[in-house]
Structure 1
Amino acid sequence: MATTQEHNDTTGAFKESDGTHTQDHANDARLRRPYDYGGNPLAHLNTNDSARLPAFGGEFQPGLYKPIADRKIANPAPLGLSAFALTTFVLSLINMGTRGISEPNIVVAAAFGYGGLVQLLAGMWEMAVGNTFGATALSSYGGFWIAFGIIFTPGGFQILSQLEAADGGKETMFLDSLALFLFGWFIFTFILLICTLRSTVAFFLLFFTLDMAFLMLGIGYADRVDGAPREGCIKAGGVFGILAAFLAWYNALAGIADTGNSFFLIPVAHFPWSEKGRERRGKVDNSAARAAEAV
């Protein structure tokens, strides 16, 4: 018996008919495939045209995907993430006591030039892109690093010396002030953390580890031992800071890598309750295919 093919101009699907049975090949293939994510369940592709979608972290966008085809400027998120990552990496190593370094003077340069200025600029460009979350986060952390540089500039702004003078030559008032400063950033980072709960594991972990770093450092400076910062908490803050730095670099890579410069996809690991996670669960549901085969 002769068969005919009918093409759907809207969906691009072909239907084959022998006069008594009609089979939708596109829908059948979609049901039978174990997942539709380019062979990697941790990554995701636009399966309609095989074009790479931007990772949540790489675009610094915790919500649903936004079209980028008509965007007139480049993605500023990787620049801001990289600036944050390097400055955090250096400071965290010092907090861990690496190579016996006990003073954060070298971080002042990175805090002003890279983590501060460059990240602040990236945040401003996020405003031009229309990404409220990215603009708020990157600009704020750029401001954090500039403020950090101001606090620790040796002899420049005399914050430490003025507080010591007001406290009778002791560091108590300075350490308490620094603890309050860090606790404030812990609260702000927790607010941002809430906004990443529907994104990806990598993006969420970036803010979780950063939040824990602020918390540990704040506790370390507030809960002192014999007048000195609690070493265990400071080192714990350094460990969480190192993790945050590498996660920031990872998310930056997700924003830089594309089909023009990368041979592999960047795993993003969507949360199962996120929009993309629910979509993926729908794609791996083969119950309809098994029911059809049984008939």
Structure 2
Amino acid sequence: MSDVNGAAAPPVANPAALGLVGFGLTTVLLSLINAGVLPAGGEGVVIPLALAYGGLIQIVAGLLEFRLGNTFGMTAFLSYGAFWWWFALLLLFAHSGLIDISGAGPTVGVALLLWGLLTFYLWIGTFRLSRILFAIFLTLWVTFLLLGLGAAQGSASLSHAGGWLGLLCGTLAIYGSFGIVTNATFGRTVIPLGETPILK
């Protein structure tokens, strides 16, 4: 690639590395709580991480993907950045008394199911992308399904199952970021990410 003067343009960094680790770290911490490994009171620790790293950093990554013309990356990172802001603000507003969700019933569960629907349609797009993205989005939409059903039905076992699957999803996202950063640094494939798509 060259610029308007014919000189070689500098290489562009891959914002997916930043977006994936922002998503992955925040997902792992919340999933440890959902799975029952960490106490439910730990949600107060997740809130600032969700705003700063899961939310803001993914929004930055999504805007950078927009600049690169990557529709999938833009939609995914901006959406999940907004998800973490929604989640953090929901907890903050509810705990501070700014909103009352005591009578919301299954509404939170339905909201999680709608996030699962978004994730499912994005997962379809990963059939033409890398295998690591396919695995991340597969585990993520099923995680939303389990958490959504668990919240809607008041089922702790479904929520715990969603927590364990979310832990796998977040770990896969961190691995994906690790692979992108490491491969870019070494200038060759050191960490396999399954670049061959499911569908060609």
Common fold: TM-score over 0.5: yes
What is the aligned counterpart of 1:215 among 145, 150, 159? 145
Give, in angstroms, the shift of residue 118 of structure 1: 1.1
Q: Which amino acid aligns with 1:249?
A: I
Q: Give the equivalent residue in structure 1 for 2:160.
A: 235
Change (3 A) 1:221 1:129: same
Could you tell me how far apart the structure 2 residues matched to 1:180 and 1:273 are? 30
Q: Per-residue deviation at 1:210?
A: 0.5
Task: Rate the CA distance shift 1:241–1:72 in 2: closer, same or farther, 3 A.
Answer: same
- 2:60 corresponds to 1:121: yes
Partners of 1:71 and 1:126 in 2: CA distance = 17
Superposed CA offset, 1:180-205 (max 9, x none): 11011000000100001123322101
Q: Quick check: 1:217–1:237 contact (8 Å CA) kept in 2?
A: yes
Task: Summarize the alignment of residues 24-63 of structure 1 with structure 2, pairs less than 5 Å apart.
Answer: none
Shift of 1:266: 1.9
The yes-or-no answer on 1:189 pairing with 2:119 is: yes
Question: 2:136–2:169: 8 Å Cα contact kept in structure 1?
Answer: yes
Deviations 1:62-118 (A, max 9, x none): xxxxxxx8466421111111100011000000001114x013221111111110111
**Residue 254 (structure 1) aligns with:** 179
Residue of 100, 108, 126 corresponding to 1:178: 108
| Cα offsets for 1:136-161 (capped at 9, x unmatched) | 100100000000000011634633xx
Do 2:131 and 2:198's aligned partners in 1 also have CA atoms closer than 8 Å? no
Cα separation, partners in 2 of 1:196 and 1:148, compared to 1, 3 Å: same
- Amino acid corresponding to residue 102 of structure 1 in structure 2: A
Structure with max Cα Rg: 1
Distance in 1 (alpha carbons) for counterparts of 2:149 and 2:167: 18
CA-CA distance at 1:262 after TM superposition: 7.4
Q: How does 1:256-295 map to 2 (within 5 A)?
A: 256-258=181-183, 260-261=185-186, 265-269=190-194, 274-275=199-200
- Tell me, in whole angstroms, the C-alpha distance in 2 between the residues paired with 1:143 and 1:273: 28
Relative to the length of structure 2, the TM-score reads: 0.87
The reply to whether residue 158 of structure 1 matches residue 98 of structure 2 is: yes
The match for 2:87 is: 148
Cα deviations by residue, 1:245-277 (Å, 9 ceiling, x for unpaired): 1110111122112364478622233557533xx
Paired letter, 1:155: H
Tell whether the 8 Å contact from 2:127 to 2:197 is kept in structure 1 after alignment.
Answer: no
Q: Which runs of 5+ in 2 are unaligned?
A: 1-7
Q: What is the CA–CA distance in structure 2 between the aligned matches of 1:150 and 1:89, rounded to whole Å? A: 19
2:44 to 105, 128, 131: 105
Q: Aligned residues, how many?
A: 191
After superposing the two structures, state which structure 1 stretch, 193-202 or 87-96, moved more: 193-202
Structure having greater relative contact order (Cα 8 Å, sep ≥ 6): 2
Contact 1:151–1:157 (8 Å) recurs in 2: no
Cα distance change, pair 80–272 in 1 and its aligned pair in 2 (3 A)? closer
Where 1:158 maps in the other structure, the secondary structure is coil
Instruction: Point out the structure with the larger strand share.
Output: 1
Q: How much does 1:236 deviate?
A: 0.7
1:46 alignment partner in structure 2: none
The structure richer in helix per residue is: 2
CA RMSD after TM alignment: 2.2
* Contact persistence 2:129–2:197 (CA under 8 A): no
